[in-house]
Structure 1
């Protein structure tokens, strides 16, 4: 009966009954997070030219992701403590404050503080939006509502490079953050007006503070490796950071409030293979998002707008590829897990050659391989992961998928920044630096992506 009702549900019913304003509010909340990464990648070369901070390119992305990780793990309890409406307002104001700090920054340190605060606010907003979806809409409407929310990410892929590119080309990169600060304030006002007050609830579980502290220290160690003057200390910091990430997994397995399924510490298990795949492939490909726009502008003569859209092709082809394989029967899942991860490794390898000496068309082809590879394999990997864990752990297992993406992206961003600084990018990114260093910037991540490929092939056999 429920499935029949779900199939019969139309948009008029979903948006009727006074639900449209709240539906629009949730879409705006998702937009604030979804549009941030591509917009920031597009304007970062302009930011660095204006206030310095070429050495901190990776920190700008890693800081946002780290804030999102911290907020994402606490969003559910945040809503219980304050109620959804009050929590939404606090989150939106935190996000807007971060945007204002970045927009007004006279130097890179305050800019990075703003980015961290933006990540915290955006992470809370997204988590709270998904909490609100389940409470504001009947079950038979959820399929359409969640599909629309997912569509916001696709819209962000098209519009956020345009926003960043227009402001960057006009020399007004600060106004991109002012624009999002105004949107965050509008979101807070609308939340006060549209959402029910709700009440606080008794919290049963503590926040996973120990895991978050270890995770944060690990990522900071990796990021700091690019700022020390000698190779020995840099290597020591990098190894310490990786050790902290391994310790995070072990610590999480013993925690009363785990962020990962209990089986993750067993290297022969499906969760271990799945999360290793997610972490390594996210870390192995993030350098394209962090440095791709700057290299294309310096070496290929691309405008900020064009460079932003080339970066956005990865996300666009991810969406297209995932739709292409969405209806395939289960016997095809292992094949596409293997095919998708193979395309990703080829794409990362291709960037090592296309960036320094190829044409822009070759860079675009590599971006298509990256996005298409993720689109082919990611949903099937998630299904196999969820099928392997006990029913009582499925909520933890599913929420850990985006968390592990963020952890991998944050660690990869920090690592990319460290490598880029050793290649001379920390002193500025011009044509000569981009030509001499971009091969190694991407080649160093081929082994990382290859480990993700190996984990995926193990997953396909389990």
Structure 2
């Protein structure tokens, strides 16, 4: 018990740093885009990291199943920090994007590895509590992150928003490593491992094509964007449970729901600070308070779902959470009109964050419950891949529309938020299909690319 308590403290500390980086970078990115003259790459700076995280997630899933989560966790932290260094020292926007790509790959490794640590090191009765503790690790960064990031940007410089996280990551990993290095792996075939990496590279390549095409409004650029969308979804589908995109009842719908919710939330969360600083004249610190609200209420939702789980069914929590996200997106869309007060989006984003706090840990706990120990890595990777795949697609499409309409004023923001509204509404519909299919005793999630040798073609 004492060892698990120390492990929880170490993981929460590490996630707190990752949370601070996410919150702080979101709040600081408008200033970064201005300093590096990179507004056209604004969406790429966020979505590109998600694209490369796809490869990291799939690699981590197979790696954890074969050798345990210790090495994927360590490698992920090292690469995450390397990406932060590249971004923090970037002379222009494309170099910063490159750093974000490396950071995303490392973050993908860590994201899945920590899920596997929970599955291997804790009994099932503690899964929901530990997952909620990791979500609650966003509380302090949510409260202080935007204000601290704004102060850093204003008085020290935006580069330190990236660099300071590197300094704190080393002792955090030192807390986790001694308690995860002994966790054993399971057994995964080499064919399964190769299939997953193959399709993840294809999905990442397609996602990057989305951003490349989105930088050019010409017919050629639109064609590249369309090809990227097809490649990303085609390859990504092979990394998800069969029937995921059709919202098949049970596990496929759970995985899809997590991806839809994440896409709606992140797409909105990225563009709210940009709108407030460029159109409403708020400082980076004040604009970042909306990010604070979302992250803080995300943690509150996680706390409620952990403490009140016996009062609310899993299906109810998923439905309520999805509805809250959709209402939050609508409040952000309304903010594009100057007559709407900023308080509207603050109130709406309370609902959006609370909704994510209900959906995210509930979906993760369900996937762990449905997984055999030797396949928790692959199944956790499927959940994370859906999140990253749909989020990066939303950011690519939304960022491309925003870049094309940026001279049109509020219309550009309405288009960006409309892209978020589509998965938000879809999540509400899919929430009703998350039960009635696979049972908790069902076998591990099969990847679509592993059916009848489909992954070999």
TM-score of the pair, normalised by structure 2: 0.79
2:162 paired residue among 159, 165, 177: 177
**Cα shift at 1:216:** 0.9
Deviation for aligned residue 1:195: 7.5
2:228 paired with 1:246: no
Equivalent in the alignment of 1:4? none
Specify the alignment match of 2:385 in structure 1. Answer: 403
Q: Distance in 2 between matches of 1:112 and 1:85?
A: 28
1:101 aligned residue: 86
Offset at residue 458 of structure 1 (A): 4.3
Instruction: Name the SS of the counterpart of 2:138 in structure 1.
Output: helix
The change in CA–CA distance for 1:71 and 1:14 in structure 2 (over 3 A counts) is same
- Name 1:112's counterpart in structure 2: 97
What is the alpha-carbon distance in structure 2 between the residues aligned to residue 181 and residue 394 of structure 1?
Answer: 29
Pick which of 275-284 and 330-339 moved more.
330-339
Deviation at 1:242, TM superposition (A): 3.0
The one-character-per-residue Cα deviations of 1:123-171 (angstroms, maximum 9, x if unpaired) are: 3334444555667779998776655444323333233323322212225
Equivalence map 1:304-453=2 (5 Å): 304-326=284-306, 327-328=308-309, 332-357=313-338, 358-378=340-360, 396-424=378-406, 434-453=409-428
Calculate the TM-score normalised by the size of structure 1.
0.79
**Matched residue, 1:168:** 153
Secondary structure of the 1:314 match is helix
CA shift for structure 1 position 311: 1.6
Contact 1:66 1:410 in 2 (8 A): yes
Aligned to 1:211: 199
1:261 counterpart = 2:244: no
Provide the residue aligned with 2:446 in structure 1. none
Tell me the secondary structure at the aligned position of residue 451 of structure 1: helix
Secondary structure, counterpart of 1:123 in structure 2: helix
| Distance (whole Å) between structure 2 residues aligned to residue 355 and residue 415 of structure 1 | 18
Query: Which residue of structure 1 lines up, in the alignment, with residue 279 of structure 2?
Result: 299
Uncovered stretches (5+) of structure 1, i.e. residues with no partner? 1-8, 253-258, 426-432
The farther-off stretch of 162-171 and 321-330 is 321-330
Q: Is 1:35 the equivalent of 2:23? A: no
Q: Mean Cα displacement is larger for which, 72-81 or 384-393?
A: 384-393
Q: Tell me how far 1:197 sits from its aligned partner.
A: 8.7
- Residues 352 and 392 (structure 1), Cα distance of their counterparts in 2 relative to 1, 3 Å cut: same
Decide whether the 8 Å contact of 1:93 with 1:188 is kept in 2. no
Q: Distance in 1 between matches of 2:72 and 2:65?
A: 9
Are 1:279 and 1:408, in contact at CA under 8 Å, matched by a contact in 2? yes
Contact 1:89 1:189 in 2 (8 A): no
Distance 1:440 1:121 in 2: 31
How many Å separate the matches in 1 of 2:435 and 2:207? 29
Cα shift at 1:353: 1.6
3-state SS of 1:74 partner: helix
1:222 maps to what in 2? Answer: 210
Distance in 2 separating the partners of 1:406 and 1:67: 9
Partners of 2:48 and 2:100 within 8 A in 1: yes
For residues 46 and 199 of structure 1, the distance between their equivalents in structure 2, rounded to whole angstroms, comes to 44
Computing the radius of gyration from Cα coordinates, the structure with the larger value is: 1
Match for residue 5 of structure 1?
Answer: none
Q: Mean Cα displacement is larger for which, 151-160 or 197-206?
A: 197-206
State whether residues 88 and 128 of structure 1, in contact with CA within 8 Å, keep that contact through their aligned partners in structure 2: yes
What's the offset of the Cα at 1:367?
0.8
Counterpart CA distance in 1 for 2:25 and 2:256 is 27
- Is 1:70 equivalent to 2:58 in the alignment? no
Give the Cα separation in 2 of the matches to 1:116 and 1:328: 37
What is the CA distance between 1:418 and its match in structure 2? 0.6
- Change in 2 beyond 3 A, CA 1:376/1:293: same
CA distance in 1, matches of 2:97, 2:211: 13
Contact 1:96–1:185 (8 Å) recurs in 2:
no
Unaligned runs of 5+ in 2: 438-457
Cα distance in 2 for partners of 1:421, 1:135 equals 45
1:455 to 420, 430, 435: 430
Matched residue SS, 2:336: helix
Q: Is the 8 A contact 1:296 1:307 kept in 2?
A: yes
Q: How many angstroms does 1:351 deviate by?
A: 1.7
Q: For this pair of structures, how many residues does the alignment match? A: 432
User: Would the alpha carbon gap of residues 276 and 410 (structure 1) be closer, same or farther in structure 2, given more than 3 Å must change?
Assistant: same
Deviation at 1:106, TM superposition (A): 0.6
Q: CA 1:347–1:83 in structure 2 vs 1: closer, same or farther (change >3 Å)?
A: closer
Change (3 A) 1:239 1:272: farther
